[in-house]
Chains A and B, each alone.
Chain A
Amino acid sequence: MAKEMFLAGCSAAAYGAALARVEVITSFPIRPYTGIMMELSKLVANGELDAEFVHGEGEHAQVAIAYGAAAAGARAYTGSSGVGVTYAMECYSPASGGRLPCQMAIADRALDPPGDFGSEHTDVMSCRDQGWIMGWAETPQEVLDNTIIYYRIGEDPRVLLPQFCCQDGYFVSHIPGKVVMPEQSQVDEFLPPYKHPHALDPTKPISHGPQIYPDQGPAINLQRAQAFLDTPAVIEEVIEDFNKIFGRDYKPFLDEYRTDDADFVFFIQGGHARTARFAVNHLREKGVKAGMVKLRFVRPFPTEAVAETLSKFKAVGCVENSTSYGGAMKGGNLIHEVRSALYDVDNPPAVTSFMSGLGGEVVSLEEFYSMAKVLAEAAKTGKVEQYVYWVGFDKGV
């Protein structure tokens, strides 16, 4: 009988990392992800986890230490939140371009100003073009599972990419939920020991990251892009294997909730999906044909799955929790990806977006209901009035 625990997302991430037998851990304090490192430091201090615990002198160093360790052949783990995530920006591309599959746990936090502890996806969403695998968990259980799953995907020789393993600050990182703890033997069966094919090893000298001439750039960048093209197939394989070994029922890319006959859906990632499920239930009770589609990976973005799935509906509302100031859709980020994915579809749904929960504000049931009103109208007319609605501020929401 598998052990059940009551854990918040931070602890779940820490246990996931410990089960993954991480070998080099590197920390720097910032709320809310700090809890992950507090938990891991205890495991190391008590001798329950044999790992080097390196106190980085900042997030920039954390990521550098992590990819240095990954280059030397150790499974490396780090994490951050908010301004910590953006402080390390320089180090992300060297890690992915170097094909060094370390993992960084993210518990989101709004960027400054104003100083704010609340959760918002803008921190790591603004790093989405750095070549890291990236996706959100909705529950502590998913946090723990993703931590293990991401290592397996990232370390696959067809992939070799670092991973942002994300959870919403507080909503997931600090609210306990039931977690079924895997057995160590299951994890060992699922996740083989880390072995980098080109580790820094004096017995096999190689040079990593030399200067190139511009004409060598396209081919090298294509390799990183190709890795992302190859990753979806690996994800499908890995999720299938995970479900088999751990008895779970994850979909690789999109988790659909009550979508069978839905007129419109909320398209969402992360912890607010939990509220969206309740909102859908209540709307259904009132006869409104609402559903939800939860995105599990934003990098690689599952273009085909999104096109196929969302084209079943009349309207789609991207629930945004990050900003792209001055962007084409005048607000968030997900809508850019969704509209692009749907461009070649016949009779695409009407797609709009909702800015909500910025700064860590709760996205309440009432907010989902007002989004539903906009979406129901769009489903009826087949048109959207606005690309973005700032929920609570714009007319109609």
Chain B
Amino acid sequence: MAKAVETQNLERVKSVRRVPQEEYYVPGHRTCQGCGPALCYKLVSKATGPDSIFLGPTGCMYVANTSYLCSPFAYPWMHTQITNAGAVASGVEAAYQVLIRKGKYKGKLPNIVVMGGDGGSIDIGLQAMSGMMYRGHDALFIMYDNESYANTGIQTSPMSPYGANTTFTPPGKAIPEGKVLFPKDAPQMVIGGHPAVKYVATASLAYPVDLINKVRKGLNVVGPTFIHIHCPCPKGWLFDADKTIEVAKLAIETGMWVNYEWEEGEYTYQHTPKEYTPVKEYMKTQERFSHLTDEHIAKMQAFIDAKLKAPGKPVPLPVTSPRESV
């Protein structure tokens, strides 16, 4: 694809005081109180500004955000199927490439952003996302991860953690832990197989300036980029609506979530705790884990320990995961 068109160059935000005051994701939606993905939308929209086109696959951030004649988006936004956000974004990007080249659209290539749920990004939407990443479209794919098929009533997705009580993995006598499988590693799937991708990051609602800057960095890169954002969901994870940020922070402190950037093969890590808190502390905050026994929690801790030492992900040593409290 010819990349002669003028693209965006968004400034880095230095502190929370410098975050744009303007809102491009405005009131009028119907998300739950304390909704992590909605806060994510707000921050991402501040990062992109109005010279943007957003694509929203079916999921909470479609269904709870838009109602006909009332839309919270101050930029052009289009619904896509849960299955095809990456493909629709590819079409929009290809259109802008040719329209700008032919002089039919005067202006820079807009920020083209997909806001996909975990299902719409890495499960039923995986093929389209991978297609967009592979072909090198100049667009940003954001996976807002609320760790379930939330909109349909909190069913298990490949991002639901081991042990989660979802409406498709209820704990019972025969299957006491609820969800038996461990989650996919979404950013690694993108990094591992898409030569056109030069920038992948993870971000957390607990660190909004970092999140905004990662979005801007992703948008400034010419070519496809991917950001995986941890978005606690009070309704699905069963915690009080005022605890969203606390839960997000605790995820980082326990190693349930790791903030990092990957740029052309180089990893950098952000917000790494000096000492990891046992994952049990994180799990205690959410009722979706309340049925788990110590044995299950130990299994989760072992998974995290292994992940933190995963090849390709240098972790400052020694990793302290005090398991004695489990």
Residues of chain A with a CB closer than 8 A to B87's CB? 56-57, 60-62, 64-65, 68
Most buried by A among B52, B84, B131: B84
> Are B90 and A68 touching (Cβ within 8 A)?
yes
> Are A73 and B105 touching (Cβ within 8 A)?
yes
Query: How many residues on A have C-beta within 8 angstroms of the other chain's C-beta atoms?
Result: 47
Residues of chain A with a CB closer than 8 A to B98's CB? 23-24, 50-52, 74
- Given the contacts A202-B50, A207-B77, A71 and B71 also touching, CB distance less than 8 Å: no
> Are B68 and A213 touching (Cβ within 8 A)?
yes
Residues of chain B with a CB closer than 8 A to A193's CB? 104
- Given the contacts A24-B98, A71-B91, A72-B95, A64 and B81 also touching, CB distance less than 8 Å: yes
CB distance from B271 to the nearest CB of A (A): 33
- Given the contacts A57-B130, A211-B68, A68 and B75 also touching, CB distance less than 8 Å: no
> Are A200 and B76 touching (Cβ within 8 A)?
yes
CB distance from B117 to the nearest CB of A (A): 15
Residues of chain B with a CB closer than 8 A to A202's CB? 50-53, 75-76, 107, 110
- Given the contacts A58-B127, A61-B128, A73-B95, A200 and B53 also touching, CB distance less than 8 Å: yes
Residues of chain B with a CB closer than 8 A to A209's CB? 66, 78-79
Residues of chain A with a CB closer than 8 A to B62's CB? 211
Q: Does B67 belong to the interface (CB within 8 Å)?
A: yes
CB distance from B81 to the nearest CB of A (A): 6
> Are A207 and B95 touching (Cβ within 8 A)?
no
Most buried by A among B67, B99, B135: B99
Q: Does B101 belong to the interface (CB within 8 Å)?
A: yes
Q: In the bound complex, how far is the Cα of B53 from the Cα of A201, in angstroms?
A: 7
Q: Does B74 belong to the interface (CB within 8 Å)?
A: yes
Q: In the bound complex, how far is the Cα of B81 from the Cα of A73, in angstroms?
A: 20
Identify A206's interface contact among B50, B76, B88, CB under 8 A: B76
- Given the contacts A69-B92, A69-B94, A207-B77, A50 and B102 also touching, CB distance less than 8 Å: yes
Most buried by B among A24, A67, A210: A210
Q: Does A382 belong to the interface (CB within 8 Å)?
A: no
Q: In the bound complex, how far is the Cα of B91 from the Cα of A70, in angstroms?
A: 8
Q: In the bound complex, how far is the Cα of B107 from the Cα of A204, in angstroms?
A: 13
Residues of chain A with a CB closer than 8 A to B81's CB? 64, 90-91, 94
Q: Does B73 belong to the interface (CB within 8 Å)?
A: yes
Q: Does B63 belong to the interface (CB within 8 Å)?
A: yes
Residues of chain B with a CB closer than 8 A to A204's CB? 76
Q: Does B276 belong to the interface (CB within 8 Å)?
A: no
Most buried by A among B73, B78, B96: B78
Closest chain B residue to A195, Cβ basis:
B104
> Are B71 and A72 touching (Cβ within 8 A)?
no
Q: Does A218 belong to the interface (CB within 8 Å)?
A: no
Q: In the bound complex, how far is the Cα of B53 from the Cα of A202, in angstroms?
A: 7
Identify B94's interface contact among A24, A90, A98, A201, CB under 8 A: A24
Q: Chain B interface secondary structure, helix, strand, loop or mixed?
A: mixed
> Are A73 and B135 touching (Cβ within 8 A)?
no
> Are A210 and B110 touching (Cβ within 8 A)?
no
> Are A67 and B91 touching (Cβ within 8 A)?
yes
Residues of chain A with a CB closer than 8 A to B88's CB? 64-65, 67-68, 71
Closest chain B residue to A194, Cβ basis:
B104
> Are A73 and B99 touching (Cβ within 8 A)?
yes
Which residues of A from 328 to 356 have beta carbons under 8 Å from B? Answer: none
Give 1 or 0 for each of B99-133: 1 = CB within 8 Å of chain A CB.
10110110100100000000000000001101100
Residues of chain A with a CB closer than 8 A to B174's CB? none
> Are A211 and B67 touching (Cβ within 8 A)?
yes
> Are A76 and B91 touching (Cβ within 8 A)?
yes
Q: Does B146 belong to the interface (CB within 8 Å)?
A: no
Residues of chain A with a CB closer than 8 A to B80's CB? 64, 68, 94
- Given the contacts A24-B91, A72-B99, A216-B68, A61 and B131 also touching, CB distance less than 8 Å: yes
Identify B91's interface contact among A50, A72, A206, CB under 8 A: A72
Q: In the bound complex, how far is the Cα of B99 from the Cα of A51, in angstroms?
A: 9
> Are A26 and B91 touching (Cβ within 8 A)?
yes
Q: In the bound complex, how far is the Cα of B76 from the Cα of A206, in angstroms?
A: 5
Q: In the bound complex, how far is the Cα of B77 from the Cα of A197, in angstroms?
A: 15
> Are B67 and A54 touching (Cβ within 8 A)?
no
- Given the contacts A56-B87, A57-B127, A65-B87, A208 and B78 also touching, CB distance less than 8 Å: yes
Residues of chain A with a CB closer than 8 A to B74's CB? 205
> Are B78 and A71 touching (Cβ within 8 A)?
yes
Residues of chain B with a CB closer than 8 A to A61's CB? 84, 86-87, 90, 127-128, 131
Q: Does B89 belong to the interface (CB within 8 Å)?
A: yes
Most buried by B among A200, A207, A208, A212: A207
- Given A64-B84, A206-B76, 10 more contacts at CB 8 Å? A26-B94, A57-B128, A68-B95, A71-B95, A72-B95, A73-B99, A73-B104, A207-B78, A208-B76, A210-B71
- Which 5 pairs across A and B sit closest by C-beta, in order of nearness? A68-B91, A210-B66, A209-B79, A74-B95, A72-B95
20 interchain pairs, CB-CB under 8 A: A23-B95, A50-B98, A52-B1, A60-B128, A65-B90, A65-B91, A68-B91, A69-B92, A70-B95, A72-B99, A73-B105, A90-B83, A202-B52, A205-B76, A207-B73, A207-B76, A207-B77, A207-B78, A210-B66, A216-B68
